[in-house]
Chain A
Amino acid sequence: MDDINYMYIGYSIIWGLTFVYLLKITMDQKKLAREIKMLKEVADGRRKTDSGTDRTSEN
């Protein structure tokens, strides 16, 4: 194989790996943000339900 091909393969690997890794962490970030938002809503809902239940039980 010609030298120049090794050079192109080398540069492709460096930038390819970096790009794939960046893509992975960006997707992780988005997925986690979505999950956090969803679970926060769930937690708020539970808290409201709990406080409502507490008030009912107090009455």
Chain B
Amino acid sequence: MKKTDYLKMIFVLIAAVLTMTGLYMAFVWAPPHGTHIFDLDQEHKDVYLAEPISDELIEAFNSSEEHINLSYNATIKQSLNQNGRLWLIKDGDSTFWIMDSDTELKVFAENMGDVQRIFYFHVASAWVAYLAFIITFIGSLAYLKTNKMKYDILAFSSAEIGIVFCTAAIITGGLWAKGTWGEFWRWEDRKLFMTLVLWLVFMAYLALRSNSDPGKARARLSAVFSIIGCMCIPLSFAANRIWTQSHPTVIASESGSLQTSMVFTLITAVFAFSFLYGAILLTKMDVENMREELEEIKQEIGDLDG
């Protein structure tokens, strides 16, 4: 067995253990609903949970017509009563939150339901897609600098895996959106749009390669193409941070603070997919090296015949 085979086995084992742990955490350990970002005791003293829920409160909620569409399952209505203007938030079937009108409305991922559990492996897929495209970028740069075919193989293998995970991220994101926003896609969301552009660019990269003859010319052309294509990565990653978008920003943002259990689940899923990516990359590179070897043997036979 080669050295890379041992490495591949280690990666597969780690990925398997982490995936099982991640799935257990996502389905059992982490909370089924989205996170409440208001801390009732410390940060927002003017927000309180109405318990027990009175009939008057339910009536006030039901009779109130003005409401805010947050795109999430929680329903928020504005109501007037003897205390002034209040926000009434119906969280699921049994909980009411009451918030003073002056309180900044910061409701994120409020009670998304079970569809929220897609989040862990959706983010992990997107992370691996970005990682794979970055490796493609590095491989392409290294190829242009050194002219060694092993870097071209690295870049191509990584791009193909990136496409698989990017596809998974786009589809699962659409399913999450259907469950929470009520629609699969929002064209006005630049995050979604840039990710689609990134996917299309790398699909074009794969099409370009499959329609060119193997060799240095193809390697050079695809390296240049992928370097230009990789410009979409920062745009796709940062779109929801630069512009206010429907797509939630949950990492490195104040508005999307996650519960500790959710953070650990997400980290486990990200590591699981990163190791899986490592194992697939090594296998794919093996396949591409074998393809090169096959071409060389064919050429040798041709020379012998000639």
User: Is B284 touching A17 in the complex (CB atoms < 8 A)?
Assistant: no
Q: Given A35-B294, A36-B290, A43-B301, does the pair A14, B172 have CB atoms closer than 8 Å?
A: yes
Instruction: List residues 7-23 of chain A with CB under 8 A from any CB of chain B.
Output: 7, 9-11, 13-14, 17-18, 21-22
User: Is A3 touching B301 in the complex (CB atoms < 8 A)?
Assistant: no
CB neighbours of A40 from chain B (8 A): 297
Partner of B168, one of A17, A33, A42: A17
Residue of A whose beta carbon sits closest to that of B124: A14
- Where chain B touches its partner, the secondary structure class is helix
Q: Given A7-B114, A18-B168, A36-B290, does the pair A25, B283 have CB atoms closer than 8 Å?
A: yes
User: Is A29 touching B283 in the complex (CB atoms < 8 A)?
Assistant: yes
Count of chain A to chain B residue pairs whose CB atoms are closer than 8 Å in the complex: 87
User: Is A6 touching B293 in the complex (CB atoms < 8 A)?
Assistant: no
CB neighbours of A17 from chain B (8 A): 164, 167-168
User: Is A10 touching B294 in the complex (CB atoms < 8 A)?
Assistant: no
User: Is B297 touching A39 in the complex (CB atoms < 8 A)?
Assistant: yes
User: Is A47 touching B304 in the complex (CB atoms < 8 A)?
Assistant: yes
B190 interfacial by beta-carbon distance below 8 Å = no
Q: How far is the CA of A16 from the CA of B158 in the complex (A)?
A: 19
- Where chain A touches its partner, the secondary structure class is helix
Q: How far is the CA of A4 from the CA of B172 in the complex (A)?
A: 13
Least CB distance, A46 to chain B, in whole angstroms: 4
User: Is B115 touching A3 in the complex (CB atoms < 8 A)?
Assistant: yes
Q: How far is the CA of A4 from the CA of B118 in the complex (A)?
A: 10
User: Is B287 touching A32 in the complex (CB atoms < 8 A)?
Assistant: yes
Q: How far is the CA of A28 from the CA of B290 in the complex (A)?
A: 10
Partner of A21, one of B121, B280, B298: B280
B275 interfacial by beta-carbon distance below 8 Å = no
Least CB distance, B49 to chain A, in whole angstroms: 24
Q: Given A3-B113, A10-B176, does the pair A29, B290 have CB atoms closer than 8 Å?
A: yes
CB neighbours of A1 from chain B (8 A): 178
User: Is A10 touching B290 in the complex (CB atoms < 8 A)?
Assistant: no
Q: Given A22-B280, A47-B304, does the pair A14, B179 have CB atoms closer than 8 Å?
A: no
User: Is B168 touching A39 in the complex (CB atoms < 8 A)?
Assistant: no
User: Is B284 touching A50 in the complex (CB atoms < 8 A)?
Assistant: no
User: Is A43 touching B293 in the complex (CB atoms < 8 A)?
Assistant: no
**Residues of B near any A CB (own CB < 8 A):** 112-115, 117-118, 121-122, 125, 161, 164, 167-168, 171-172, 175-176, 178-179, 276, 280, 283-284, 286-287, 290-291, 293-294, 297-298, 300-301, 304-305
Some 13 contacts from A to B, beta carbons below 8 A apart, are A3-B115, A11-B118, A21-B161, A21-B164, A22-B280, A22-B283, A28-B287, A33-B290, A36-B297, A39-B298, A43-B300, A46-B305, A50-B304
**Residues of A near any B CB (own CB < 8 A):** 1, 3-4, 6-7, 9-11, 13-14, 17-18, 21-22, 25-26, 28-29, 32-33, 35-36, 39-40, 42-43, 46-47, 50
Given contacts A3-B115, A18-B276, 11 further A-B pairs with CB under 8 A are A4-B115, A6-B176, A6-B178, A9-B175, A10-B171, A21-B164, A22-B280, A26-B283, A29-B290, A33-B290, A46-B305
